[in-house]
Amino acid sequence: MSGSQKFFGTDGVRGVANRYPITPEVALRLGRLAARVLVAPMVAREAAEGGKMWPRCIIGKDTRISCDLLEAAFAAGMASEGVDVMLAGVVPTPAVSYLVREEEAAMGVVISASHNPFPDNGIKFFNGGGQKLSNEQEAALEAAIAEAAPALQDDNERPTAGKIGRISQMEKAAERYNHMVFHEVGGSDHGLLSGMKVALDCANGASSRTSPEILRVLGAEVSVFSDEPNGVNINEDCGCTHPEIISRLVDETGAQVGIAHDGDADRIALCDEDGVALDGDELMAIVALHYLQAGKLVDNTLVATIMSNCGLDAAMEAAGGKLVRAGVGDRFVIQEMRKGGYNFGGEQSGHIVCGDYLMTGDGIIAGIEVLKIMVETGKPLSELRQCLTKFPQVLLALPVSSKPPLEELGEAMELVKQTEAALGSAGQVLLRYSGTEPKIRLLIEGEDAGFIQEEAEKISAAIVAQIGA
């Protein structure tokens, strides 16, 4: 591993499973390094302050066939460094965040590639508070991976005999998470959603064991789809990356609302009773404006990313609130929320963070918050969504063969500057590489739909000509 190699994308380490770097060998090494770089300092700091944090890691996973080998390798790496490992099994990503906090574990890990197709996999990290790693923690782990520290080759330093870490299966992890959502988010009201018809797409992923039960316990009539994972069908023509599926299912079932998760259930896609899909901006507008009116939105502030539509700024300002923007990726949203003490934020892509319950993206919690608003107001989702008037927007994801620095994309960057100058303050142009896929993403937003479409075509053509796959 060279010192220049970068392993972390926007959300952990990700790639094709059983191909470098998502191999059992790398997972084993990551387990050992995480124990040394993340767990040991945290345990030592707690001890110095007179407390005691158990050197324990909770590992969850989604339903990919490759999860077992990566889970076993990572767990073995941690146990070899004296960390006890608790296997939560197949659970949503936010469940791991919750369980880390409840068990007072030193860290948590999720083996998942989120919305990516089943051949992919990845490793996500949570710290001892059940939150995504800070920039400093991620940088420290990245450096440790790249340095190939000689100490890793010194087997004499490893614990032996009774000090070797143990691996155990956590009992009823999904049930405990369900219980928390039902009581804290639903308020233990068995009839809260009584009479509401919901179409639910579980993406053949981790929510198959959680979301249907939660919604039914709250009284909803639920038609469940894509809830039979077999290890290879996760996200396959289903889930929140295929909103057309949940739209069709709403039409077929006559549901009042459609909910679709991704593979690890930290994202959500909604569609209204007419089968028309909502994006994360619309969902955030509905919840944030309701919170604002009820006096529940901390400092009257919503946190979104630079990718969110400018109409969201306008809607918040008109209601007496404000929008704070963070970098792309839910961990940057969460960092901004923690920094300002805010309690609600998210991404256009459907990562929604309801900080009053969990400081991480949680699809079913976000969904329940919307359903509660529907019940409280008596309004259908098609009416609630009208609180947001969007600026016209073009968003493209272009496959690329390489990822040179953006400033090296000469013609494309010159076109970007020209478009920005033409838009002025009434729009924006964003160009960035995907942190998890070989793609470059282009976003143009402005008041004139025809103009931004023309500019998007020019810029994308220049990109494809230079680095197109």
Q: Partners of 196 in the beta sheet?
A: none
Amino acid letter, 217: V
Report the phi/psi class of residue 424: left, alpha or beta, with left for phi > 0 and alpha for psi in -120 to 50: left
- Is residue 39 in some structural domain? yes
> What CATH number has the domain bearing residue 414?
3.30.310.50
| Count of structural domains within the chain | 3
**Residue at a domain's end among 387, 414, 435:** 387
**Is residue 23 domain-shared with residue 156, that is, in the same domain?**
yes
pLDDT at 26 over 50: yes
Residue of 66, 97, 112, 114 marked active site: 114
Phi, psi at residue 103, to the nearest 5°? Answer: -85, -5
Residues 212 and 265 in one domain: yes
Q: What is the pLDDT of residues 231-256, one digit of tens each?
A: 999 999 999 999 999 999 999 999 99
Residues whose CB is less than 8 angstroms from the CB of residue 125 and which lie 6 or more positions away in sequence, other chains included: 12, 34, 38, 107, 108, 109, 132, 133, 137, 138, 141
Q: Are residues 143 and 52 in the same domain?
A: yes
Q: Give, for 57, the enclosing helix (H) or strand (E).
A: strand 54-61
Q: Which residue range forms the structural domain that includes residue 461?
A: 393-467
Same-domain status, 327 and 357: yes
Beta bridge partner(s), residue 167: 85
Confidence of residue 5 (pLDDT cuts 50, 70, 90): very low
Query: Are 142 and 200 part of one and the same domain?
Result: no
Q: Is residue 3 part of a domain?
A: no
- What's the pLDDT at 149? 43
Q: Is residue 41 part of a domain?
A: yes
On whether residue 6 sits in a domain, the answer given is no
To which residue do tokens 């009257």 refer?
300
> In the annotation, is 97 catalytic?
no
Say which range, 48-62, 87-101, 136-150, 388-402, has the weakest mean pLDDT: 136-150
Q: Do 57 and 181 share a domain, yes or no? A: no
Give 133-153 pLDDT, tens digit per residue: 988 888 888 888 777 544 434
Cis peptide before 55 (omega within 30 of 0): no
| For residues 374-397, average pLDDT | 95
Q: Domain boundary at 119, 147, 171, which?
A: 171
- Is the distance from CB of 366 to CB of 434 less than 8 angstroms? no
79 domain-assigned: yes
Rounded to whole angstroms, how far apart are CA atoms 68 and 438? 26
- 7 within a domain of the structure (yes/no): no
Report the CATH number that the domain containing residue 52 is assigned in CATH. Answer: 3.40.120.10
Mean pLDDT over 44-71 rounds to: 85
pLDDT single digits (tens) 91-105: 999 999 999 999 989
Residue 307 domain-assigned (yes or no): yes
pTM: 0.82
Query: Do 125 and 194 have their domain in common?
Result: no
Give me the percent of the chain exceeding a pLDDT of 90. 75
- Position 41 confidence tier, pLDDT thresholds 50, 70, 90: confident
Residue 4 located in a structural domain: no
